[in-house]
Amino acid sequence: MMKIGLIGFGTIGKELFRQIQNEEEMEISFVFDIEKEKLGEIDSSLAVDSVETGLERNPDLVVEAAGFEAVKEYAKIILHKCDFLILSSSALAFEETENEIKKVCARNNTKLFIPSGAIIGMDGVRAVKGELDEVRIESKKNPKAFGREDRKRTVLFEGSAREGAKKFPKNVNVSATLSANGIGLDKTNVKIVSDPSLERNCHSIYAKGSFGEFEIHVRGVPSKNPKTSSLAAISAFDLIKRIKDGIGIY
């Protein structure tokens, strides 16, 4: 039985909770949300009031669906005890957090997992990692996703993934995930566009190297949270299943 702790009980957290509970070989070990009242609808024995209390239940894996601050705050104590799967990969743009994660994983033989989230094709990007000369991603969403009310197409950011992740940490997990699989946060170029004509979250990736070039286009349906594509929970659950089975590509 794989015991899973969950941090964040919002759009993605609730979906993962539901899917995990439907699996015979998985069980929820604990759920933590910074807003306690959000946990009112679940069995009170599963709700904990801190990540530390949750970790005392010895989960095999903790899943973060809360935000980059949660990764920054809890990665160290979680990876000290067990594996950690994060949706908020933009936390890796903070050098201190990334270095701390590498150290604690090496010391405790634990792993950090990053699902492909709202994009696809990370297996291909990873395969050519050593041969990449150029990687670009353009992310376009309806202004609502950025909490804006633009009436026309507006470029919000253009620059490196590291800089973008620090300026828009809640919206650029995709470029951080792409960077982690490819040529890193400093060399990956990111453009973020707010476009009122769009109903879907659109991501276009271009990669070039000695192998040739490829493009990946995703037009994801937003979930209840307009910032979040429904693909994010789908890919996270798929990765949880592969970790449990111990096979497949991570």
Ligand X SMILES: NC(=O)c1ccc[n+]([C@@H]2O[C@H](COP(=O)([O-])OP(=O)(O)OC[C@H]3O[C@@H](n4cnc5c(N)ncnc54)[C@H](O)[C@@H]3O)[C@@H](O)[C@H]2O)c1
- Interface residue list for ligand X (CB under 6 A): 7-13, 32-35, 38, 65-70, 87-89, 117-118, 170, 173-174, 177, 225, 228-229, 232
For ligand X, which is the closer residue by CB, 78 or 174?
174
Per annotation, catalytic residue among 14, 72, 162, 203? 203
Residue 213, Cβ density class (10 Å: 0-12 exposed, 13-18 middle, ≥19 buried): exposed
The residue count for the chain = 250
What amino acid occupies position 76?
A: K
For ligand X, which is the closer residue by CB, 173 or 181?
173
Q: How far apart are CA 32 and CA 154, in angstroms?
A: 37
For ligand X, which is the closer residue by CB, 211 or 250?
250
Shortest Cβ 108–ligand X spacing (Å): 22
Q: Which H or E run contains 230?
A: helix 230-245
Shortest Cβ 24–ligand X spacing (Å): 25
For ligand X, which is the closer residue by CB, 160 or 177?
177
Clarify whether 80 is annotated catalytic: no
For 94, the token pair is 């903070």
Q: In what order do the strands lie in the sheet with 154-160?
A: 154-160, 188-194, 132-141, 201-209, 212-220
What amino acid occupies position 44?
A: S
Shortest Cβ 152–ligand X spacing (Å): 25
Q: Which residue has the tokens 């669906």?
A: 65
Q: How far apart are CA 111 and CA 79, in angstroms?
A: 7
Shortest Cβ 14–ligand X spacing (Å): 8
Active site residues: 203
